């Protein structure tokens, strides 16, 4: 019996720490970034946007998912240029104890024909039906050096 207890204790002590909510949220943001590269930013944005999600970039504000869907269905509305790759890497995240919301922040880049910018972003996430979804997304562009 003692051998089993010692073995169990050693397994617990030497096992890597289980991923917590902050790590889970970082993984969700990384998956969002990967989807943006593979399927395009517009598709990734719609898939990850909360029902009341909004963004603070562009000429036409997006105040909820219905606004975003309408914009992306309208051929005259601004769309992400498929030749421009929007990539990002989250650096840190935070999730309060209740686990209902969180944030990620990191660095982004836009690269393509005639475009090469970098910047910093922050995304606010909420739990919607058990899944992390974007509530608000803001970003800045680094000054040209």
How many independent structural domains does the chain possess? 1
Q: What are 7-41's pLDDT values in tens digits?
A: 444 444 433 445 799 999 999 999 999 999 999 99
Q: What are 46-66's pLDDT values in tens digits?
A: 999 999 999 876 677 789 999
pLDDT at 96: 97
pTM of the model: 0.82
Per-residue burial over 112-131, b if 16 or more Cβ lie within 10 Å, else e, is: eeeeeeeeebebbbbbbeee
Which of the four pLDDT bands, split at 50, 70 and 90, describes residue 75? Answer: confident
Q: What are 108-128's pLDDT values in tens digits?
A: 999 999 999 999 999 999 999
- For residue 145, pLDDT over 50 is answered with yes
- Compute the distance between CA of residue 62 and CA of residue 76 in angstroms, rounded to an integer: 16
Instruction: Judge whether 5 lies within some domain.
Output: no
Instruction: Judge whether 125 lies within some domain.
Output: yes
Instruction: Judge whether 121 lies within some domain.
Output: yes
Domain containing residue 58: 21-141
Instruction: Judge whether 3 lies within some domain.
Output: no
**CATH number of the domain where residue 53 is located:** 3.10.450.50
Instruction: Judge whether 11 lies within some domain.
Output: no
Instruction: Judge whether 135 lies within some domain.
Output: yes
Instruction: Judge whether 7 lies within some domain.
Output: no
């Amino acid at each position: 019996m003692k051998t089993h207890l010692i073995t169990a204790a050693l397994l617990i002590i030497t096992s890597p720490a289980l991923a917590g909510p902050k790590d889970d949220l970082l993984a969700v943001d990384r998956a969002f970034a990967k989807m943006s590269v593979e399927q395009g930013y517009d598709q990734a944005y719609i898939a990850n946007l909360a029902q009341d999600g909004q963004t603070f970039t562009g000429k036409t504000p997006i105040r909820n998912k219905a606004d975003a869907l309408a914009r992306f269905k309208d051929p005259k509305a601004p769309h992400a240029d498929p030749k421009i790759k929007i990539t990002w890497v989250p650096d840190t995240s935070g999730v309060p104890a209740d686990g209902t919301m969180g944030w990620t922040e990191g660095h982004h880049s836009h690269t393509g024909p005639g475009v090469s910018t970098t910047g910093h972003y922050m995304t606010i996430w909420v739990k919607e039906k058990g899944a992390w979804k974007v509530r608000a997304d803001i970003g800045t562009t680094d000054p040209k050096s």
